[in-house]
Amino acid sequence: MLELVNISKKFKQNYAVRNLNMFIERGEIVGLLGPNGAGKSTAISIMSSLVEPTQGDIYFNNHRILKKPKPLRKITGIVPQEIALYIDLTAEENLQFFGRIYQLKGAKLKERVNDVLQIIGLTDRRKEVVKKFSGGMKRRLNIGVALLHEPELIIMDEPTVGIDAQSRNYILETVKRLNKEKNVTVLYTSHYMEEVEYLCDRIYIMDKGNLIASGTKEEIRRILSGEKTIVIKANRLTELFINELKTHPLINSINVEEKQITIMVAKEVNMFADLIKLAEKASLELSSVNIKTPTLEDVFLHLTGRALRD
């Protein structure tokens, strides 16, 4: 349906996106994952013809569309990262306003506004002004705007940042439902691994403008098929202990949080004895040591040496 070939975007001296190759097939939910600054929004702006790439081509149904973006625009609904709503208008008035921009009117506009309110679960709040809405409700309405013209492709830019768990689940379920019931194709952008893991068939992972991994979940996990993840918890962590782990010859990567360290080692390595010895040496008490099979989050850690979470 949509293909990006060797897309790069330079702002002054810096690449926001570099040599990005990706495709989206009709009916898929594709994940675009990466931490802040990875280049996700820039990639989306290029697909939406809001930003012109420095280099590369975009194909829609096998036609080059960089110079003629209209056919793609017509069937695409974009959910921007920043909420774009009129806060003094009601939910319904916002949808009516944006519906008219999409050339909807009369009975058709009414029908679409009703449908969308139903999809985003705001039917009973339709008469309320948006400034009274919670962050989650604003997000849902922001998504609703992108659904008004019944798009075949929805591109969502971090639609769940900073909202309550309930709205977040609602949004995830809505994306699944639109895909299943209406065969809507979705590009879902996030820096939350578990969302992408839950929703998506295929995943692209970006970091600092570069694509660092892509494929099905299984394919990406297989990058780490020879490794295991060990999560070490302690009441407090000392520099000595952390440094011992950082310089340990059998530890391939390490991520330090407040009271928890995650390390990756080869599958066959047994670290228990070493960990206990090092903890004793640093005179700290371990509260737990857990071994897990690597998650997609661990793949990111492995490829970049950093955790995905901010």
Ligand X SMILES: Nc1ncnc2c1ncn2[C@@H]1O[C@H](COP(=O)(O)OP(=O)(O)O)[C@@H](O)[C@H]1O
- Closest approach of Cβ 33 to Mg ion, in Å? 12
Phi, then psi, of 16 in degrees rounded to 5: -80, -30
- Closest approach of Cβ 15 to Mg ion, in Å? 15
- Closest approach of Cβ 59 to ligand X, in Å? 21
Contact letters (x/-) for Mg ion, 110-139, by CB under 5 A? ------------------------------
Which pair of structure tokens corresponds to residue 257?
């949080």
Which is nearer to Mg ion, 91 or 146 (by Cβ)? 146
- Closest approach of Cβ 32 to ligand X, in Å? 9
| Residue 174 found at the interface with Mg ion (CB under 5 A) | no
- 3 state DSSP class of 92: helix
Tell me the C-alpha distance between 101 and 117, whole Å.
Answer: 18
Tell me the C-alpha distance between 233 and 285, whole Å.
Answer: 9
Which is nearer to Mg ion, 18 or 40 (by Cβ)? 40
Residues that bind ligand X (CB under 6 A): 11, 16, 34, 36-42
First vs last C-alpha separation in the chain: 33
- Closest approach of Cβ 8 to ligand X, in Å? 12
Helix 165-182 / helix 135-147 crossing angle, nearest 10 deg = 20
- Residue 37 interaction partner, one of Mg ion, ligand X, none, beta carbon < 5-8 Å per kind: ligand X
Which is nearer to ligand X, 13 or 288 (by Cβ)? 13
Which is nearer to Mg ion, 80 or 294 (by Cβ)? 80
| Residue 41 found at the interface with Mg ion (CB under 5 A) | yes
Tell me the C-alpha distance between 62 and 55, whole Å.
Answer: 18
Phi, then psi, of 162 in degrees rounded to 5: 70, 30
User: Which range, of 17-25, 35-43, 128-136, 172-180, touches Mg ion by CB under 5 A?
Assistant: 35-43
- Closest approach of Cβ 254 to ligand X, in Å? 24
Which is nearer to ligand X, 8 or 42 (by Cβ)? 42
Calculate ∠ Cα 58-23-68, nearest 5°: 20
Using the 8-state DSSP alphabet, how is residue 124 labeled?
A: G
- Closest approach of Cβ 42 to Mg ion, in Å? 8
| Residue 8 found at the interface with Mg ion (CB under 5 A) | no
Phi-psi region of 225 (alpha: psi -120 to 50; beta: other; left: phi over 0): alpha
Is residue 174 within 8 Å of 188, Cβ to Cβ? no
Phi, then psi, of 142 in degrees rounded to 5: -60, -40
- Residue 225 interaction partner, one of ligand X, Mg ion, none, beta carbon < 5-8 Å per kind: none
Q: Which residues bind Mg ion (CB under 5 A)?
A: 40-41, 81
